[in-house]
Amino acid sequence: MTENSKPQKSRITFISRAAPYGQNKANLCLDMALASAVFEQDVNYIFFGDGVYQILKGQDGSAIESKTLGNALETLELYGIEKIYADRQSLEERDISEPELLSGMQIVDSDSIAKMIESSDTVFNL
């Protein structure tokens, strides 16, 4: 399908900045992105600040009777969201290295994130 056949396509960037489990912002952000993907929008999904804790491998929400957010994040790609990024500086500040992350993340610098924001129609930041 070409871009032209979908005039209602807008570029929506999600900046997910909250750590998982302690509050529900990470889940809200994910739900919004999945809905955007279902409606075939052009989605960027960025893990930033404490949000990078969401993409640590080996989470087990069952220990606190919660759904494991890490598993849910793996569904991003199933929904056709391919532009998934993690902020390099946020990872470094938290001593998280690339092998500790779920697969499918592109690590980017804040300059690239600034450009993504600039080229987006709408930004959700939570």
Partner 1 sequence: MKFSIVIYAAPYSSEAASSALRFARSVIDQGHELYRLFFFGDGVHNASQLTVVAQDENNLQQQWNDLIEEHSIDSVICVSSALRRGVLNQTEADRHDLGTASAYTSSEVAGLGQLVDAAIHSDRLVNFG
Partner 2 sequence: MTCLHTISKSPDTQLLESCLKIIASGDAILFIEDGSYYANSARKLEAIDKTCKIYGLREDMLARAILTRAADSVELIDTARFVKLCCDHDKIVSWF
Residue 53 contacts partner 2 per CB under 8 A: no
Is-contact 40 32, C-beta < 8 A?
Answer: no
Interface residue list for partner 1 (CB under 8 A): 8, 10, 12, 24-25, 28, 31-32, 35-36, 38-39, 41, 121-122, 124-126
Nearer to partner 2, 56 or 117 (CB): 117
Residue 17 contacts partner 2 per CB under 8 A: yes
Residue 35 contacts partner 2 per CB under 8 A: no
State the nearest-atom distance from the C-beta of 30 to partner 1, in Å.
11
State the nearest-atom distance from the C-beta of 6 to partner 2, in Å.
21
Distance CA 47, CA 114 (A): 13
State the nearest-atom distance from the C-beta of 20 to partner 2, in Å.
18
Residue 10 contacts partner 2 per CB under 8 A: no
Of 54, 16, 10, 9, nearest in space to 32 by CA: 16
Q: Which residues bind partner 2 (CB under 8 A)?
A: 15, 17, 48-49, 87, 89, 110, 113-114, 117-123, 125-126
